[in-house]
Amino acid sequence: MAKTDNFLKVKDHSVSGEEFVLVRHPELDLLETTPKPSLERLPEYYKSEDYISHTDAKRNVFEKAYHVVRNISLQRKLKLINSVSKESKSLLDIGCGTGDFLKVAQDANWNVCGIEPNEEARGIANRKTKDNVFDVSKLPTLKDQSFDVITLWHVLEHLPDLKKEIEQLKRLLRPNGTLIIAVPNFKSYDANYYKSHWAAYDVPRHLWHFSKTAISKLFLEQDMVVKNILPMPFDAFYVSLLSEKYKNGKMNFFKAFWVGFQSNLKAKGSGEYSSLIYVLKNK
């Protein structure tokens, strides 16, 4: 990834107020957050009560709505993993947060394992999943080719060393297994509409910003191919609501709904939804 172009300057709206530059790698159509925080400093950028995936908080209308949508999404995720692995059922969820997806899968007779770096979220997840969630230090110790399905729901964009992490995913996945990755899509209408205020850039927690081309090329290097791409239509509304707050200082529900609606409508033709789920298999 040698050649780069400056793409956009973006502010960290939720924690530090610092500014970062997104640079584009043309050969991959991939954006990278620069400068990257050091591994020692990176956890500081997650220290916010508003980082909703690390808590089960329902303090306001926004958080309550988030949990309603999440419950619908959990059932859709379960349906997806059931469809790709009907007999053997071993699941690894990397960046599992408070463990809701793992619990749903476990209740549906999946053998589950989770990885979560945040100590508080990990504690909540372990209470839900009978202590099947571990710190990231556990990941290298897991046996080769030991999982039928590996999922990363809005996690890949957080990982500092993409090449190393993709190699590790390849190592852990069984030859006929399925890798499922959900990431924001900077090619979406809402990303183009909000530009530097687009909440899904979420710098510097999001270190990478993906297009369809980027996902395809990055995983092809490990002989993994994209078999299907699925939309996450709820994300357009959630991201637009946060983007309105960053752009105008308040959550304008009506404006956010309209932008989210337009984004999904335009994506029906282009396939460029606010977030996308990639279903990958070994080549």
* pLDDT tens per residue across span 5-62: 899 999 999 999 999 999 999 999 999 999 999 999 998 998 876 554 545 555 555 5
Single pTM value for the model: 0.92
Res 1: pLDDT? 58
d(CA 123, CA 96): 11
Q: Which residues of 173-191 are buried (b: 16+ CB within 10 A; e: fewer)?
A: bbeebbbbbbbbbbbbbbb
Res 109: pLDDT? 95
Q: How far is CA 169 from the centre of its chain?
A: 15
Res 57: pLDDT? 53
**Percent with pLDDT over 70 in the chain:** 92
Res 166: pLDDT? 97
Contacts of 3 (CB under 8 A, 6+ apart): 25, 26, 27
Distances (CA, A) of 263 to 241, 248, 269, 275: 13, 19, 11, 11
Which residue from 140, 153, 150 is spatially nearest to 177, judged by alpha carbons? 150
Q: What is the DSSP letter of 31?
A: E
- Residue spans of the chain under pLDDT 50: 52, 54
Res 3: pLDDT? 65
Contacts of 146 (CB under 8 A, 6+ apart): 90, 92, 172, 174
Contact present, 274 and 236 (Cβ < 8 Å): yes
Kindly calculate the radius of gyration of the chain based on its CA atoms and give it in whole angstroms: 18
Res 59: pLDDT? 58
Contact present, 276 and 183 (Cβ < 8 Å): yes
For residue 233, give the 3-state DSSP assignment. coil
Res 65: pLDDT? 62
Q: What is the DSSP letter of 127?
A: H
Share of the chain residues as helix, strand and coil, in percent rounded to the nearest 5: 45, 25, 30
d(CA 259, CA 236): 8
Contact present, 226 and 216 (Cβ < 8 Å): yes
Res 266: pLDDT? 97
